[in-house]
Structure 1
């Protein structure tokens, strides 16, 4: 998300550098470019007008701090206003209620509502250690009930059965009664979606809301619909007392207009982002981190949290001990690194969160995209256990067999072996105290403050 906006803003903000003072004249062109960038990102016009007015009011006449260039001052103002547009901070779910805390999910058909119920159920079970029950009150689509049942099994939460001949309110009330008896912490209620907003749909969900009295009413909306997402959210917000928004399919949205518009138009916070198809691809929404990513400054906090959550620490420590004591690093170790990288959103997902990498992404894409890491995994999987431990055995006929087994070319096998040998050489240097020496050598090349003790 935000690739186009990030690229435009990065180019635009360079033009303000080298000024001794920010004046109305020297930022006029920059503000015009920022305005165009936001409109192209499909940000709603009232949001763009308010954003530009706020930036202009704060920037004009600002004296440049001795340690900062005008470009940096302006960048700080833009970042601060981006955060303000999206909300001041992360707004967590409010689960302070007599168990089970009921969360009602609303939205249009096709927005990813049922999938989001599954993702949120997993999030609550894994990260907040809650006992979760899910139920479908979508009596118009039998497939939706079955889909939620399947998702519940996948994310290891309990499913309360329902059928198309029942009343949605009766389904929800029965699920709440069951939740109380079985001591569930949270009940997620999936509701019927429509292809467009209609009076019947709104009347039904209002009746459901009145009956179950949820602690959270979340509106699920597709980010790829741009400012239409904000307008739809406004229509739901007028009909229901929404407490927040889940923005889905953000991995397929290069513009980001919905994220910048929703808070301003509805007054409701975005609480989560759907960032992929997997059932763990749900991230709490942090306006400050997203603003940082838009401006190409990365998102180190999210990266650290992801590493903490998804890296197999025991396996990583085992490989580290082996490398430090014997200088050994096998193709199996290499494959494990590739798998863990993929679990964290792939190479491009990691680069997106690293400071300064936004501009490099396009150059690197061709050399190290996620399809390439999958191809590398396939090549290693086509080797025998002996070949993975002793890659020097892999000669002509073996290479042809591995290429055929992995659906690749011999030159792909050669390329992987070359990359592996380079990594193996680096790992050997880390044996004993080699790592400390390498870091000391690198320390002289890093900026001040990047190396401990400097």
Structure 2
């Protein structure tokens, strides 16, 4: 949905340049494009109608001020209403005064409940500094308990040792008892799923809810389900007092309609979104930021947060001081830069967070190939001796053959890496002292990067 809607709106913004007022005609043109994009994204028709009506009401007759044009003003209105459709602001988890807090995970099989349980464990440990215990009450799927035990360990939490011959309610109560005795802050109960909604599933999860009396009941739904996600959410809402929704696989969703439909249909806030397959690929859902992504504005806030969390600031400062003093940039520094980029989720993750106008400049780039190239470059550098990394000029024909054999690549790959390294080293030399300012002036970037100077 994001690229589709962004492309449609970008075209309209260009055609509306020079107009001084928003009229019924240009509103109608934009709403036609928005309506088509939302319907193609599988957003529920009642949600689309309500959304279009709200945008029309706010847009008609609005004056265009300053340097904006009608297209830009309309995009701003669409952005605000998209955010409002997905909820009012970021919704926090409610932590009780007396722990343990109990979180019940509900949803159909395949929605990603078990993986999300582990991701939420990691999020609670890292963001909220909580001691977390997980437990699986899925006695039907043979590998469910083993899977939860494995992913919980990866997340840094503890998993209650349940057995398939026990009753789900008994398992949950035993885990809750251990939580109290061992002073855990949070218990996450991973429930059984089904391929479709049925009476047995609903009766079981209703009994579990009554037994453990959770603080939070989170409905986990696959964002790629579209209309089905909305229908499933409504069915669970009728049975359970849902307190929040977790949208999984949001990174792989080309349509994205679920994010707009589910909250409106259930009147339940979206609290989390699964944005990657990694164990730390869960983030608190922010409607305003997600609306920006949908409109191709990128998510610079997430990009900054990713830098803060994953970049080694001390290492970056050390490199900056090294470059400033005139010391030579070497292959160890180059390797470090590749590692920093990987820690931030790789090239594709960075591109997803950039505004569409910037990302489109790399639109022809094969991200999978680029990621493979980065891994290959790492392998080549790691096949070098410490001396070779410090003094790359030593690397001649015989050394290149040895390095290529060690990395499992052709000599041409070694030559390619050394050429790229030379280009970066030349750039670093230009940054020495006041060279960075001169380089920015040559690039014509001074005004854009340093406003007011």
TM-score by length of 1: 0.93
C-alpha contact (below 8 Å) 1:118/1:155 kept by paired residues: yes
Q: Write the distance in 1 (CA, Å) between the matches of 2:207 and 2:373.
A: 51
- Gap change, CA 1:324 and 1:275, over 3 Å in 2: same
Match of 1:434 in 2: 435
C-alpha contact (below 8 Å) 1:247/1:272 kept by paired residues: yes
Q: Write the distance in 2 (CA, Å) between the matches of 1:167 and 1:395.
A: 68
C-alpha displacement at 1:317, in angstroms?
2.2
TM-score by length of 2: 0.94
Match of 2:119 in 1: 119
- Gap change, CA 1:290 and 1:239, over 3 Å in 2: same
C-alpha displacement at 1:361, in angstroms?
3.7
C-alpha contact (below 8 Å) 1:300/1:353 kept by paired residues: yes
Asked if 1:379 is matched to 2:380, the reply is: yes
**Which one is further off, 125-134 or 293-302?**
293-302
Match of 1:25 in 2: 25
C-alpha displacement at 1:424, in angstroms?
0.8
Q: Write the distance in 2 (CA, Å) between the matches of 1:401 and 1:227.
A: 57
Match of 2:450 in 1: 451
C-alpha contact (below 8 Å) 2:5/2:34 kept by paired residues: no
Gaps of 5+ in 2: none
C-alpha contact (below 8 Å) 1:5/1:41 kept by paired residues: no
Match of 2:270 in 1: 270
Q: How do 1:133-152 residues align onto structure 2 when only pairs under 5 Å count?
A: 133-152=133-152
**Which one is further off, 292-301 or 155-164?**
292-301
Give the secondary structure class of the aligned counterpart of 1:87: coil
Match of 1:419 in 2: 420
C-alpha contact (below 8 Å) 2:42/2:257 kept by paired residues: yes
Q: Write the distance in 2 (CA, Å) between the matches of 1:430 and 1:353.
A: 27
Give the secondary structure class of the aligned counterpart of 1:146: helix
- Gap change, CA 1:218 and 1:111, over 3 Å in 2: same
C-alpha contact (below 8 Å) 2:64/2:70 kept by paired residues: yes
C-alpha displacement at 1:232, in angstroms?
1.2
Give the secondary structure class of the aligned counterpart of 1:134: strand
Q: Write the distance in 1 (CA, Å) between the matches of 2:254 and 2:372.
A: 19
Match of 1:300 in 2: 300
Runs (4 or more) in structure 1 with deviation over 6 Å come to none
**Which one is further off, 202-211 or 217-226?**
217-226
**Which one is further off, 152-161 or 11-20?**
11-20
Give the secondary structure class of the aligned counterpart of 1:280: coil
**Which one is further off, 360-369 or 207-216?**
360-369
Query: C-alpha root-mean-square deviation of aligned residues, in Å?
Result: 2.1
C-alpha displacement at 1:32, in angstroms?
1.1
C-alpha contact (below 8 Å) 2:347/2:367 kept by paired residues: no
C-alpha displacement at 1:97, in angstroms?
4.2
**Which one is further off, 113-122 or 272-281?**
272-281
- Gap change, CA 1:400 and 1:252, over 3 Å in 2: farther
Match of 1:66 in 2: 66
C-alpha contact (below 8 Å) 2:2/2:295 kept by paired residues: no
Q: Write the distance in 1 (CA, Å) between the matches of 2:336 and 2:373.
A: 15
Match of 1:280 in 2: 280
Match of 1:405 in 2: 406
C-alpha contact (below 8 Å) 1:219/1:246 kept by paired residues: yes
